[in-house]
Structure 1
Amino acid sequence: MNEMLLLRHGETEWSKAGRHTGRTDLPLTEHGEVQARALAPLVKEPFGLVLVSPAQRARRTADLAGLSGYEVDADLWEWDYGGYEGITTPRIREDRPGWYLWRDGVIPGDAEHPGESAEEVAARADRVIGRAKRAEGRVALVAHGHFLRVLAARWLDLPPQDGRLLKLDTGTYSRLGFEHAERVLVTWNAPVC
């Protein structure tokens, strides 16, 4: 592998409202579809491997961007927010003043949203990186904000909590690559529209 192109899915109603959206499967908004189509110029060259989260927002982004022949990989699901699924940070802070996902984690939820630690997200990100490293040529990943932030931190050999330093908006692209055989962040949180 010589480069990883990371595409964060387009906007959903929950991402627009700041609601934590882990495993709840929401469609893109109209603006999210515009964002996804705008990513198309980035995927003109061939990829040796294309992996997409199972979430419909990620699969629809991949389709609208023009990616084909991709593999759905459950390791690319967003962070499981447990009991904080669908809740905004200001609402969580009403009960837990000063709460910060990267430091404080999540509380357990129901059977569909049991919750996940940063280390558990990192283990999934490490598996994705391992797959990507074995691929020929360029790799594309279509996934979610917090997951991709953890993946980038792990790419840089940082602890998963350092993903907090890497803000990532919907409908953006980022690139991970190499400089003098060392892993680097090439482009981050770049908008296309």
Structure 2
Amino acid sequence: MGELIVIRHGQTKWSLSGQHAGRTDVALTEAGEAAASALAPRLAHRRLVAVFSSPLSRAMRTAELAGLTGAKPDTDLLEWDYGGYEGLTAEQIREARSGWDLWRDGVVPGDADHPGEELAQVAARTDAVLDRIRPLLSEGDVAVVAHGHLARVLTVRWLGLDASASRLLGHPHPGTLSFLATKTGNPSSLLGTSRRARPPPHI
């Protein structure tokens, strides 16, 4: 069986500031482009049978710079729709909603472009992605380029856990790799990390 390689897109201005970027199409920073390019040699030896990406430019550009040519846009890999919290930091949200936690409390509706999603809806999208990818893993590795919260939900669903268990995982750093595999018949994971300073845990 191949491995499912989950790549978080490179750094953006919003990931740097801790703003929630769901459907807003925020471009990579120079540092984000450099981190994406640095992934190319780590992926070059992989026998990839398919590559899928969130259609947002920060993900598609990461795929391009990482040498993942022919990445297919997949709307199920879009980040959580944060609704009325789009563009806000956790600190700003908690000023109006004391003690707010995304995994427990969710989001509020926004405008027509950001109606918001419940965690169960995000999980349903990741389940659909996994249903399409699992058969491909018998042929080799599959890569997906996506977003931080989406990657956490995808990971726990791969492990067969409820989506709420995503809160127990560390947040993957921008421009890093995570690996989802099957070992001794059981699903396993290694969530992407970096030696650089950690971003705020909410982004």
TM-score (norm 1): 0.96
Higher mean Cα deviation, 163-172 or 31-40? 163-172
Q: Distance in 1 between matches of 2:70 and 2:42?
A: 16
In structure 1, the gaps of 5 or more residues are none
Residue 21 of structure 1 is matched in structure 2 by: 21
| 8 A contact 1:9–1:143 mirrored in 2 | yes
Residue 199 of structure 2 is matched in structure 1 by: none
Percent identity, please. 52
Q: Distance in 2 between matches of 1:192 and 1:9?
A: 17
How many residues are paired up? Answer: 192
1:49 is displaced (CA, Å) by: 1.3
Instruction: Report SS of the residue matched to 2:178.
Output: strand
Residue 12 of structure 1 is matched in structure 2 by: 12
Residue 52 of structure 2 is matched in structure 1 by: 51
Cα distance change on mapping 1:192 and 1:142 into 2, 3 Å: farther
Q: Distance in 2 between matches of 1:132 and 1:181?
A: 17
Residue 177 of structure 1 is matched in structure 2 by: 181
Q: Distance in 1 between matches of 2:75 and 2:89?
A: 25
Residue 39 of structure 1 is matched in structure 2 by: 39
| Pair 1:83 & 2:84 matched | yes
| Deviation sequence 1:38-92 (CA, Å, 0-9, x none) | 1112221231111000010000000000001221100000000000000000000
Higher mean Cα deviation, 154-163 or 94-103? 154-163
In structure 2, the gaps of 5 or more residues are 197-203
Q: Distance in 2 between matches of 1:91 and 1:140?
A: 34
| 8 A contact 1:121–1:147 mirrored in 2 | yes
Return structure 1 stretches of 4+ with deviation > 2 angstroms.
Answer: 190-193
Task: Report the aligned-residue RMSD.
Answer: 1.2
Q: Distance in 1 between matches of 2:123 and 2:25?
A: 21
Instruction: Report SS of the residue matched to 2:48.
Output: coil
1:192 is displaced (CA, Å) by: 8.2
| Deviation sequence 1:84-128 (CA, Å, 0-9, x none) | 000000000000000000000000000100000110000000011
